[in-house]
Amino acid sequence: MKHIDIKIYGNVQDVNFRSFLKAKASDLGLVGFVRNEPDGTVYTEAEGDEGDLREFLDQCRQGPRFARVEKVDIQEGKMQDFKLFEIKY
């Protein structure tokens, strides 16, 4: 099990990015959260199997249909033992 912190830059708010990532995380069995940041980015923390996290990162780089991802920053973090994956407001 591994924990990653991800910050996604570009046209990533108001394009259903949070719902997109929640669905992808649920499909992969990941736990954590996603939220919009005041600076226009999307921030997410996810925990799970390394292979599933790699697939999740691929989805972060692609985004939903109307998103335009310019950059993705990734950092390993300390396990938080989340129970589910949620959207934070």
- The answer to whether 35 is a known catalytic residue is no
Quick one: tokens of 61? 């780089």
Cα–Cα distance between 72 and 9 in angstroms, integer?
6
Closest residue by Cα to residue 15 from 54, 42, 43, 53:
42
Question: Has 16 been annotated as catalytic?
Answer: no
Identified catalytic residue from 11, 16, 18, 61: 18
Which residues make beta-bridge pairs with 3?
47
Catalytic residue, candidates 11, 36, 61, 65: 36
What are the catalytic residues?
Answer: 18, 36
